[in-house]
Amino acid sequence: MPFTKSGNLLATLTKIARLLAIREKQGYIVGGFIRDWLLERETNDIDIAVSDAAITIAEEVAVKIGGKFVLLDDVNNIARVVLIEDARPGGISQDQELHSAEWHFDFSSFSKDIETDLARRDFTINTMAIELSQFVAPSTATGTSPRKSANLLAEKRFLPKLIDPFSGREDLRDKIVRGVSEQIFEEDAARLLRAVRLAAELDFTIEPNTESLIRDYSQAITEVPGERVREELLRLLTLPRTAYHLRYLDNLGLLLALIPELAESK
């Protein structure tokens, strides 16, 4: 089910928003969830940036919504809450299959303000945010049910204020993958592959300056842990036009950096 039509998900986000309000903390939905919501794509990953210790908040959220707490990075204060929902479509018999939905709520902290946090991210289409309380506003402010509120969001009849300091929505409209800054690959070389994978998944184009940066930093991919490289490559190779994507990796200098043995086959 598309998340924009999931009343259960909106009800869960409303619980999280209320918990943050009680703690007098700010929370923002950020990154890929906003991108996919605007594109009307399905996703089960929701990134939430909070103005407090994210690990503590995630532990409280896990108890509140009946999810499983997973510590992802204690140094950078990142944690996940996994929620598995069983939803029985109306009218089916007890012996028919139950359909389940698994949601991943990833919590991270920001110390100054949300704009500063967004500036640390990778690509403009991933640097948009919406305040959590505004996103759930159709149900909390108008008194409508989560299901009706989810439909309002799906039909874009309720548009929360979009925080978009790097014109990500414009690049989304133009189908462009653009780096937020010229330092993005210095900070995390896994983004070299992520740029290609994102462009392939969304059928977008990497803009020329970002392409040039990828070529300049291509050798840095060898410093990325193997499991992260594997994850990005597997996601890329499961997409249509695999041969095209491999040639593109070669054109960017990434293929031989990853597999130098292929040089002899040329």
CA distance 204 to 188: 21
Sign, Cα dihedral of 51, 53, 55, 61: negative
pLDDT at position 92: 40
Sign, Cα dihedral of 5, 167, 202, 106: negative
| pLDDT at 167 exceeding the cut of 90 | yes
pLDDT at position 156: 54
pLDDT at position 93: 40
| pLDDT tens figures, 47-96 | 999 998 899 999 999 999 999 999 998 888 999 999 997 655 444 444 44
Beta strands in 55-192 (DSSP E): 68-73, 78-87, 99-109, 129-131, 176-177
Q: What is the reported pTM?
A: 0.82
Instruction: Let me know: does 160 contact 131? Beta carbons within 8 Å.
Output: yes
Model confidence band, residue 253 (pLDDT cutoffs 50, 70, 90): very high
- Who wins on pLDDT, 5 or 60? 60
pLDDT at position 76: 84
Average pLDDT over residues 219-233: 93
| pLDDT tens figures, 182-219 | 999 998 999 999 999 999 999 999 999 999 999 999 99
CA distance 194 to 198: 6
Average pLDDT over residues 171-187: 96
